[in-house]
Structure 1
């Protein structure tokens, strides 16, 4: 399997309920501008298509305000998909439709979590291409991290204590920006987690120290790096990309203010998959 190479992305349209009921919307008195959020979502959908990815688009479900952040519903590496067990009750019903697509349409090896006490959000699982880090904290517990280790025995899986970090998910402050390049958000709480990761890592990584969480929000896929525009990242963090990112990597800038307001961003919108054999019943946009 080639790390960071994918041919399918499961995405979900933005529901009206995102405006006032999403995880992050309480930080904004006027709520999220849903129409702008939908424009941002459509931009990401087209960007992914331009990265040679087939899109499987799910219809929004108003019962689940955060359903557009599909990455939390499963962990997919190679042909194995581990169905998550979200740590917040408002999101637990989202996994049903994802399970159907992964198992019925993509025909992947779908693994369920056996431990009834386990909780796991996909946003707490960082796959570096060589190993896996799982943040144990607000949404994912020890049993959830153990389920990741059992589902992907071919990779070293390291648990890191994420409970004292202000961020909700591990990938809110850590993301891969390329092979061996890790984007890291600022703050002593994040640095403490980074130290844990470096202590247990089986491979070395180039740390790209950004000056905001938003600047850390990016997606490396099929030789492309999708990231925020300079205005959102800030000049210093934007300059870090010029310094660390291989010139052969195609960079794509997107405006993602509204969806970021809702609590997540670029890295959480698609559930990326690599399926080596296509089936006729797969329908994508």
Structure 2
């Protein structure tokens, strides 16, 4: 069960965020409303939400998931692979927030790069995507830190998606949403795999929060499949964040 969540309010500079989506620029005012609704959905799922101030000098800073990994034993500050995002991991308010909740806060060091959008937690094990943003050195550093705290990790090589969790979402109870390159991946054969249709691929980025599952609005097939598993689904519109390659998991740290 999660007790706490950390989020950061989007800034007006969000229109300058990194993107490969080709969906146009996000509208700041709409993104702000969607973010408020996201926080409201998290609150409904029974967590306490710490809200950090916007950082206009960092257009992607609302995607807090990439700059830290929060586990049951420690927090690990990452070193983002996108150079324009690297300084986000040094922001003092994020460090202060993590230090408030954790006795042990570790850090990824150069030349390692890690973005925690590439990391999926399944119990005490962490699948780490080796991607354009997370390199082998960073993944190995992450595993060493996890093992130091009694946790485990393994590396999954990505071929197509930006981040591991672009195509995977663990919903607890052995249920795993799988999209694209992960549908037939033997690495995940032990799970009850719920296949995401290609035309709803963006909707694969759902998040489990205390027996609720937050699902992006507009992906009815995924919504139905998750409801049939018995979860309480909360729909959240993230269309503005999709324009800059962001989804539901990117917008929060959950622990």
Using structure 1 for the length normalisation, give the TM-score.
0.82
Alignment of 1:1-40 (within 5 A): 5-19=1-15, 21-24=16-19, 27-29=22-24, 31-40=25-34
> What CA deviation, in whole Å up to 9, does each residue of 1:242-285 have, x standing for no partner?
33x2x2x3221112211122211111111112xxxxxxxxxxxx
Question: Residue by residue, what CA displacement relative to the aligned partner does 1:209-231 show, whole Å, maximum 9, x if unpaired?
Answer: 011222211110112111123xx
CA contact (8 A) 2:203 2:216 kept: yes
Dislocated runs of 4+, deviation >3 Å: 189-192
- Structure 1 26/228 Cα, relative in aligned 2: closer, same or farther at 3 Å? closer
Q: Number of matched residues?
A: 249
Aligned counterpart for 1:159 among listed residues 136, 141, 155 = 155
Given candidates 208, 224, 231, the residue that maps to 1:239 is 224
Q: Distance in 2 between matches of 1:49 and 1:131?
A: 26
Instruction: Determine if contact 2:183/2:195 at 8 Å carries over to the other structure.
Output: no
SS state at 2:213 partner: strand
Unmatched segments (≥5 aa) in structure 1:
274-285
1:225 matched to 2:221? The reply is no
Q: Are 2:108 and 1:113 aligned?
A: yes
CA contact (8 A) 1:32 1:261 kept: yes
Change beyond 3 A, Cα 1:86–1:241:
same
2:248 to 260, 263, 266: 266
Distance 2:19 2:53 in 1: 21
Residues in 2 aligned to 1:85 and 1:259: alpha-carbon distance in whole angstroms: 22
Cα deviation per residue 1:62-116 (whole Å; 9 max; x = unaligned)?
A: 111010010001111103001100001111111123222212x2243101224x2
Task: Give the Cα separation in 2 of the matches to 1:158 and 1:121.
Answer: 15
Q: CA deviation at 1:130?
A: 4.3
TM-score normalised over the length of structure 2: 0.91
Q: Which of residues 97, 109, 128 is equivalent to 2:122?
A: 128
RMSD: 1.8
* 5+ residue gaps, structure 2: none
**Aligned counterpart, 1:252:** 234
1:58 matched residue in structure 2: 52
When residues 28 and 228 of structure 1 are mapped into structure 2, their CA distance, relative to the original with a 3 A threshold, is: closer
Distance verdict in 2 for CA 1:251–1:108, change over 3 Å: farther
> Which of 88, 98, 102 lines up with 2:98 in the alignment?
102
Does 2:183 match 1:198?
no
Q: Is the 8 A contact 1:75 1:81 kept in 2?
A: yes
Report the alpha carbon displacement of residue 207 of structure 1 after superposing the two structures with TM: 0.5
Q: 1:25 to 1:16 in 2, by over 3 A?
A: farther
Q: What SS does structure 2 have at the residue aligned with 1:252?
A: strand
Deviation at 1:143, TM superposition (A): 1.1
For structure 1, which segment, 138-147 or 93-102, has the greater mean C-alpha deviation from structure 2 after superposition? Answer: 93-102
